[in-house]
Amino acid sequence: MSSDAIVISVAGTAAGLVVRQRRGYRFFASTSDFRAIDRRCFRRVRDAQQAVKRILAGEPAVRGQA
């Protein structure tokens, strides 16, 4: 059985979950710490995980943002 929702947790921090959609995965933040990517669509689950890691490291959530 597969699920259309996957919890994103990095370094013990539950950041939110991604829900499979036609063209990727939409991220829903579990706390306001991740509001920069809340409801953002990612091509792959790994892309959402990388965005969460960048936020935790104090970097822009998406490369190229200032």
Task: Report the 3 state secondary structure along 6-31.
Answer: EEEEECCEEEEEEEEECCEEEEEECC
On whether residue 21 sits in a domain, the answer given is yes
On whether residue 64 sits in a domain, the answer given is no
pLDDT value, residue 45: 95
Residue 1 has pLDDT above 60, yes or no: no
pLDDT value, residue 64: 52
CA–CA separation, 20 and 17 (whole Å): 10
pLDDT value, residue 46: 95
When divided into structural domains, the chain yields a total of 1
Residue span of the structural domain in which 33 resides: 5-56
Is residue 27 a contact partner of residue 33, using CB atoms and an 8 Å limit?
A: no
On whether residue 31 sits in a domain, the answer given is yes
Torsion of CA 29, 65, 47, 36, to 10 degrees: 0
Per-residue model confidence as pLDDT tens digits over 12-58:
889 999 999 999 999 999 999 999 999 999 999 999 999 999 999 99
CA distances from 26 to 4, 23, 62, 66 (A): 10, 9, 15, 23
